[in-house]
Amino acid sequence: MAIVSFETVHRKTRAGRSTEVRRSLKQLIMLGELPPGAALLELEIAARFACSQGSVREALLALQDEGLVIRQPHRGTRVSDCTAAEAQEMFRLRHSIETRALARALPNIDADLVEALRASVRAMEQAARDNDEYALSELDRAFHRRLLAAADLPALEPILHRCLVHNQRFKITRSGAARDLEKTAARHWTIVNAIESGDRDAAVTAIGHHVATIVDPGPEIFPDINRMPMTTPARTDSLPKPTAEMQAMLDRLAREDAGLPDPTTIPPEEGRALAERKNARWQVEQPEMETVRTFAVPPDPDLETTGNAVMLFRPPNAGSGAILFVHGGGFAFCSLRTHERFMRVLAAESGRAVIGVEYRLAPENPFPAGLNDVIAAWRAVQADPAAYGIDPGGLVLSGDSAGANLALAATLHEIEASLPVPDGCLLFYGTYAVDFSTPSYNDFAEGFGLTTAMMQRYWDWYAPDAGARSGPLAAPMAASDDAIRALPPLHLLVAECDPLASDTHALAARLKRLGRDDDMRVEPGVVHGFLQMTQHLAAARASVSAAAMAANRFLEDANKNGRND
């Protein structure tokens, strides 16, 4: 926390006007540099700030309105207490105001306000990186007051403001808990994403959970708030369940993998070997290809890549154009070998060549190493398709899970650089935001293969720097509306019983809000990674077929409109 002395504040506020005095004293009180009970002498403050006593008096009256000081006739002014009892009641009051207000405000929230909220969270993240706790608290209060303003309840604004001030002061000076500024800022993305989805229940739940979990000083202070059922929206139905076919596969995996460790809890090299071993069971009865060949992508000095491999799967009588595919594996595991059957099936279904991309893996090679490898491969194949064994005719970029993230991020990168972009993207159950409190992360946290804890570890490996992971090239949902609007046509696939399902639902909702009409297929009763199981699951085969049709449509439309001339 930045330490602010009375003298340094004086140097920052030489104008000496009432507003500057109020802001400076408020900062000292909020950060605990002026503790409860500290006397505030008008003559001393006026001398230090080189202003009149009248200016000081106005500042102290404004601070009294915020509940930060107490003025008593003939006894002077002192800094107010910040008690746990008051904190408890203000948290309760704030919870009631903010949840009800957001329910009322949601129909009034438009694209401009959502973008303003996103900009506000990005500003909070910057303040956190600057270790400026006071600036972060000001931005935080402004975020919540903006939401209340959308509800058109002006009489409640001063009440909420005082609650916000007291709650933040309590958190900073009295809660005793270690304060992670970057986590404080990032917590607001859950609210923004829920609002953007247009789901009233999800938005109200998000804001309620946010308020109820600001501090956790123990049940002796917040005995009821700690038990508030705010982690997931209230459901009117039971959780989706795996289909009988999917459950049979899960039972088989449970038998075959009994006793094996979670690969994210062992050294990365051991985890990779385990992932290769577990995925080998899917690489059987592979469709025949006319050509299977590995090519080298040269190093790209601009992207600081060292060269990587791509593998061509060309089916018999292949049409022009191709699908560039980026495998998943949490940014850390898997390879072209683990996804070979899937790529062959996609090539056979689409009648187009599929080119798989190898890339450097985390944690040894964190963001943006893997992304830059994907971009380098995209540029190389796009610039000279014949050199990679395909007939010119357009390119679709595709990926599953972490690979879907990399495919989408690569496309956003090229949009920003004003360079050629894919004719379309096939994005299968991707991770697009670093928010582990979404409905699907809660609903499918364990018991469905991929777990929420595994995703947290994957992200820690891939983007350990909080500043990097909050940007759009690591977390594409952080991209601007203009960048999202400029994306080529997308085909999105959701596995219903998947911790990542909410990421795709949120992306689809945002695309729709921006006036786009992109495909989204929700496959009922299947889990993350089900596309690996095309030999066993009818749902996997149907989803690959739908993706192949989308790829063909993207390429045909591009050629019809002359984009690949």
Q: Is the model more confident about 378 or about 137?
A: 378
Last residue of a domain, one of 199, 227, 255: 227
Q: Do 217 and 304 belong together in one domain?
A: no
| Residue 565 included in any domain | no
Which of 200-209, 276-285, 438-447 has maximum average pLDDT?
276-285
Q: Do 213 and 70 belong together in one domain?
A: no
Query: Which residue in 198, 200, 196, 202 sits closest to 484, CA to CA?
Result: 196
What CATH number should be reported for the domain holding residue 118? 1.20.120.530
Q: Do 136 and 30 belong together in one domain?
A: no
Residues 6+ apart with CB under 8 A from 503: 430, 431, 432, 433, 438, 440, 477
- Per-residue pLDDT, 222: 37
- Per-residue pLDDT, 378: 98
Confidence label for 215 from pLDDT (cuts 50, 70 and 90): low
Q: Do 375 and 491 belong together in one domain?
A: yes
List strands edge to edge, sheet with 490-497. 291-297, 308-314, 353-357, 322-326, 395-400, 425-428, 490-497, 519-527
| Residue 480 included in any domain | yes
Q: Is the model more confident about 289 or about 62?
A: 289
Q: Do 115 and 189 belong together in one domain?
A: yes
Q: What percent of the chain has pLDDT over 90?
A: 59
Helical segments of 362-451, H only: 369-383, 402-416, 439-443
| Residue 233 included in any domain | no
- The span from the CA of 14 to the CA of 433, in Å, is 43
Residues 6+ apart with CB under 8 A from 76: 39, 40, 41
Question: Known catalytic residue: 401?
Answer: yes
- The span from the CA of 217 to the CA of 226, in Å, is 10
What CATH number should be reported for the domain holding residue 343? 3.40.50.1820
Long-range CB contacts (within 8 A, 24+) of 159-162: 159/93, 159/97, 160/94, 160/97, 160/98, 161/66, 162/66, 162/67, 162/90
Domain span at residue 25? 6-79
Looking at the predicted structure, is the pLDDT value of residue 52 above 70? yes
Q: Do 51 and 124 belong together in one domain?
A: no
Q: Any idea which of 320-324, 435-439, 547-551 has the lowest mean pLDDT?
A: 435-439
Q: Do 75 and 91 belong together in one domain?
A: no
- Per-residue pLDDT, 451: 95
Q: Any idea which of 143-147, 194-198, 364-368, 547-551 has the lowest mean pLDDT?
A: 194-198
Looking at the predicted structure, is the pLDDT value of residue 12 above 60? no
- Convert the pLDDT of each residue in 482-529 to its tens digit: 999 999 999 999 999 999 999 999 999 999 989 999 999 999 999 999
Sign of CA dihedral 285, 288, 293, 294: negative
| Residue 285 included in any domain | yes
- The span from the CA of 339 to the CA of 325, in Å, is 10
Looking at the predicted structure, is the pLDDT value of residue 206 above 50? yes
- The span from the CA of 565 to the CA of 558, in Å, is 9
- Per-residue pLDDT, 234: 36
Q: Do 347 and 491 belong together in one domain?
A: yes
Q: Is the model more confident about 116 or about 401?
A: 401
Looking at the predicted structure, is the pLDDT value of residue 237 above 60? no
Looking at the predicted structure, is the pLDDT value of residue 179 above 80? no
What CATH number should be reported for the domain holding residue 69? 1.10.10.10
- Per-residue pLDDT, 175: 57
Q: Six-digit token pair at 232?
A: 């997931």
For the segment 36-60, the average pLDDT, to the nearest whole number, is 89
Q: Do 211 and 188 belong together in one domain?
A: yes
Confidence label for 230 from pLDDT (cuts 50, 70 and 90): very low
Helical segments of 463-537, H only: 466-469, 481-485, 501-513
Confidence label for 559 from pLDDT (cuts 50, 70 and 90): confident
- Convert the pLDDT of each residue in 77-92 to its tens digit: 999 888 888 888 888 8
Please answer whether residues 531 and 342 qualify as being in contact, where contact means their C-beta atoms are separated by less than 8 angstroms.
yes
Looking at the predicted structure, is the pLDDT value of residue 391 above 60? yes
Looking at the predicted structure, is the pLDDT value of residue 101 above 70? yes
Q: Do 543 and 398 belong together in one domain?
A: yes
Q: Is the model more confident about 223 or about 502?
A: 502
List strands edge to edge, sheet with 69-72. 39-40, 76-79, 69-72
> 């973008």: which residue's tokens?
115
Given the residues 18, 401, 470, 502, select the one marked as catalytic.
401
- Per-residue pLDDT, 221: 35
Domain total for the chain? 3
Confidence label for 196 from pLDDT (cuts 50, 70 and 90): confident
- Residue 158: CB atoms within 10 A of its CB come to 11
Q: Any idea which of 43-57, 332-346, 364-378 has the lowest mean pLDDT?
A: 43-57
- Convert the pLDDT of each residue in 301-332 to its tens digit: 999 999 999 999 999 999 999 999 999 999 99
Q: Do 182 and 306 belong together in one domain?
A: no
- Per-residue pLDDT, 421: 98
| Residue 249 included in any domain | no
Last residue of a domain, one of 47, 79, 111: 79
Q: What mean pLDDT is reported for the chain? A: 88
Q: Any idea which of 151-160, 228-237, 244-253, 545-554 has the lowest mean pLDDT?
A: 228-237
For the segment 360-376, the average pLDDT, to the nearest whole number, is 98
Q: Do 538 and 394 belong together in one domain?
A: yes
- Per-residue pLDDT, 178: 59
Confidence label for 170 from pLDDT (cuts 50, 70 and 90): confident
Residues 6+ apart with CB under 8 A from 89: none
- Per-residue pLDDT, 1: 33
| Residue 235 included in any domain | no
